[in-house]
Structures are given as C-alpha cells and as structure tokens.
Amino acid sequence: MTVRVAVLCVIFAWHEEAVAAAERLAAPWDWTRAERLARRYDSALAAERRRNTPQCASGCGEAFIVDGRLNPELLLPTELMDTLAGMYTMSNAERRGAVRAQWLRHAPAAQRDHFWDELHAAGRPFFESWAEFQRLNAVLETASESDRERLQARRDEVFDSLCARRVAALAAARTLFSEKEFDRFLYEAIAPGVFISESGGTVSDAIAREEGCR
C-alpha cells in the first residue's frame, strides 16, 4: 500500500467516525427525515436493534423495531402525534393527569400555562377525529349486524381523514410553539414511551405518511 493510499484510508476512516459521532451527538429532535429513515430502514442496523431489544427476546422476525427509549431519533413526528392524541382520548381524568405530569417532568417546553388547552385547540380536527376513530373501533366490537356496515363505513371515512389532519395538527403546533420547541417536547416527553414493530414498512410509506398520505 502506498503512502498516499494509506493516508486516504485514514482520512476516510476518520470521516466515517466523525459522521457517526455527529449523529450520536445530535439531539433526537434535530435529525432530518432523511437521516431518520435511512437508519431506520437499514437492514443491518434493524437486525442489530432486534438483537438489542428486550421485547424481541422471543423473536421479532424481520420487523423494523424502534424502541423510543433506545432510539428516539428513529421515530417520526407524526407517529408521536398519534400517542399525543391518545392522551386526549383518555376518559379517566386521573389517568390523563398522570400521563401529562409524567411528560412534563421530561419536557421543559411543555411547562407553560395552558399548554394542553392551546395544543388541543391548535390540532382540534385531528384530535377529535382520532377520538372518534377510537370510539368507533370500540363500538364495532359489540355492534349488531344491522349497524356494522354503517359504522364501518364511518370508521373508514374518519381513518382516511387522519393523515392530512395529523400533518395539519403538527404544523399548527409548530407554528404555535415554534418548531424546535414543539419537536423537542415530542422527543423528550413522548418518544420514550413509544415502541414500534413494523413489518413490510418502506421509506416511501413513511414519507407518504409524513406528507399527509397524498
């Protein structure tokens, strides 16, 4: 090996190490969509995550695993919006308050007066549609045969509206609180409680979801 080739190899190795170090140092909310998806759907990295995830001790097949406690940076903001919407659908006020208190302990951005009310108002169409979708799913479990077709049609209609409303709610919240502040809230407060096991997912599917499923 010539000196020049050796030097180039050293430079290349240093560059790769520097890039990896920069990724480790970047806050989860500062990652770009391209960075998240490239690592999330990298088969070698996905296999490594399966090996290191306790939930996969009995096997996860070829699923793409994302544990928000270990790799919050691989979650997408729209996925975190679904968990946020789930909090607003909790009918038990004590449980809802406990979830909010837990999130607040991890997210300074949310520690402001009227945060939850302002957030709900900003994303109202999405949060209300999510609540209706969950309610319809529950009703369908015990619905009579005569009501089932009508309820399923309404559930499908609501489901089809969720993608665009989710993206609109995220945009409205980012405008209200600033993008960096709100995304930091999503990744500090919500991401650690999210676990995703996704089979057959693709980068294209994820991008479509992030853009409102157009």
Distance CA 50, CA 99 (A): 28
pLDDT category of residue 109 using cuts at 50, 70 and 90: low
pTM: 0.82
Q: Inform me whether the pLDDT recorded for 151 exceeds 90.
A: yes
* Residues contacting 156, CB < 8 A, separation 6+: none
Element (H, E) at 195: strand 195-198
Q: Which pair of tokens denotes residue 30? A: 């500062």
Q: Are 129 and 41 in contact (CB under 8 A)?
A: no
Q: Count other C-beta atoms under 10 Å from residue 41's C-beta.
A: 17
Mean pLDDT of 129-148: 94
Query: What does the alpha-carbon distance between residue 176 and residue 181 come to, in Å, rounded to a whole number?
Result: 10
pLDDT at 21: 42
Residues 162-213 have pLDDT tens digits of 999 999 999 999 999 999 999 999 999 999 999 999 887 788 888 888 887 8
Helix (H) or strand (E) holding 198: strand 195-198
Kindly report, residue by residue over 34-76, the tens digit of the pLDDT: 999 999 999 999 999 999 888 888 878 888 999 999 999 999 9
Tell how many helices (H) and how many strands (E) occur in the chain: 10, 2
Ordered DSSP codes for 153-191: HHHHHHHHHHHHHHHHHHHHHHHHH-HHHHHHHIIIIIG
